[in-house]
Structure 1
Amino acid sequence: MARLFVAVLPPPPVLEHVDRALVLARAGTAADEGQGPVRWTPAADRHLTLAFYGGVPDGLELEFVEALAGVAAVTPSFGLALRGSGLFDRRTLWIGCGGDVAAMTALTERTTAVGADLLGRTDDRVRHRAHLTVGRVRDQARRSASRRREAPGVVQVQTLAHALAVYSGPAWTVDAFHLLRSELGAGPGGAALHSVVETFALGAVAG
């Protein structure tokens, strides 16, 4: 059984632009690499999740590929840009999306429906706001926040979210999405390792 999800992968120049913005925004904060209070998402793992399917029996993987290919065939390419920033639950720092967010939302709904059809269950997490996760406060740092007013990691991501609120990255055309496998604990530092199972090219630009 494999843990599968669907995502849009921003192209390297877009991710590099985010990295430069993070470097500038973090210039006045502690450089918490390694075991610091914030765990930064490696650039190679940054993605815009469309649907998370969780554990999928091996015999169903081909059915997912076929269903998602059908979604891609009827979905036109569309434009996006990474824009703005914020926090989830005071611990997860994200970069948001601008551009044709309605098309992104529609694609999210279609790919989520594939999981509901094939697995008989849906992802309970509401994905109404496409976002790129760039960092999370480590659990230990988060627990310390309950014992004192503000933990260093919490303060850092709050500061960065404020600094990046006006962030605006380069636009690009979303012309594909990807089915990925997630292996818990197999990545650097015990993080999840993500690998592409299949890539689905979108239909031609509308009009």
Structure 2
Amino acid sequence: MFVAAVVPPEAVEHLDQFLAPRREAAAFRWSDPGQWHLTLAFAADVPDRSLDDLDDRLTRAAAKRHAFTLRVAGGGAFPHPDRARVLFARLDADQVATTELDRLATGARAALAKAGAQVDGQRFRPHLTLGRLGHPDNVTSWVRLLDDYDGPEWCVDEVALVASYLGEGARRRPRHEVVATYALGRD
């Protein structure tokens, strides 16, 4: 399961149209645009007995945060463009939105941990995963291409708890199912 800010259809469509004529130029395993999201917290396993507690904790965590705006602008790669395993789109936010995003991720991670889930311990780095590589490769040209991309803004006013079912989606990819959504509560 994971907690995420879901990218709205207009922003997905805009980025998808930018990438569509370019996808055949690389042998990436491209992510399904319908599943683009900003992961705030991830736990490989959440015990069923913890779901009610997790729901309460995520409700409270979201209620403490302000809505904010984001947009996709730029690109990057993990671990590095010279030896990339993942190509991603960067998210652009002002200082207030960056602070809210960081605090929202911290609250989501704490909610999962306090509900009994083992949370992925990696540092939060906001991004949208666009594609994965089978072996490390240089994707500098793709990062430069994405650095010219400037997508539309959208308001993040809720987060979602999403269940991920590995191998059950199209082409044996994960199938994602929104379990619940949580409104950000502060104006």
Q: State if a TM-score over 0.5 links the two structures.
A: yes
Out of 106, 122, 130, which is 1:134 matched to?
Answer: 130
After TM superposition, give the deviation of residue 120 of structure 1 in Å.
6.4
Measured in 2, the distance between the counterparts of 1:20 and 1:120 equals 37
In structure 2, the partner of 1:97 is 91
Q: CA RMSD in A?
A: 1.7
In structure 2, the partner of 1:177 is 159
Query: Counterparts in 2 of 1:103-118, with a 5 A limit?
Result: 103-118=100-115
Specify the code of the residue in structure 1 equivalent to 2:162.
Answer: L
Instruction: Label 1:120 to 1:42 Cα distance change in 2 as closer, same or farther (>3 A).
Output: closer
Matched-pair contact (CA < 8 Å) for 2:44–2:118: no
In structure 1, the partner of 2:60 is 70
- CA shift digits 1:121-143 (9 cap, x unpaired): 4322111x200001111x3xx1x
Measured in 2, the distance between the counterparts of 1:167 and 1:95 equals 9
Specify the code of the residue in structure 2 equivalent to 1:186.
Answer: E
In structure 2, the partner of 1:187 is 169
- CA shift digits 1:154-184 (9 cap, x unpaired): 35x4322221113221111101000000111
Query: Does residue 119 of structure 1 match 2:101?
Result: no
- CA shift digits 1:180-207 (9 cap, x unpaired): 00111111111111100001111142xx
Query: Does residue 50 of structure 1 match 2:50?
Result: no
After TM superposition, give the deviation of residue 47 of structure 1 in Å.
0.4
| Structure with max Cα Rg | 1
Matched-pair contact (CA < 8 Å) for 2:12–2:33: yes
DSSP-derived class of the 2:153 partner: strand
> What residue ranges of structure 2 are gaps of 5+ in the alignment?
none
Out of 154, 159, 162, which is 2:144 matched to?
Answer: 162
Out of 8, 14, 18, which is 1:21 matched to?
Answer: 18
> What residue ranges of structure 1 are gaps of 5+ in the alignment?
146-153
Measured in 2, the distance between the counterparts of 1:84 and 1:162 equals 8
TM-score in terms of structure 1 length = 0.81
In structure 1, the partner of 2:182 is 200
TM-score in terms of structure 2 length = 0.89
DSSP-derived class of the 2:14 partner: helix
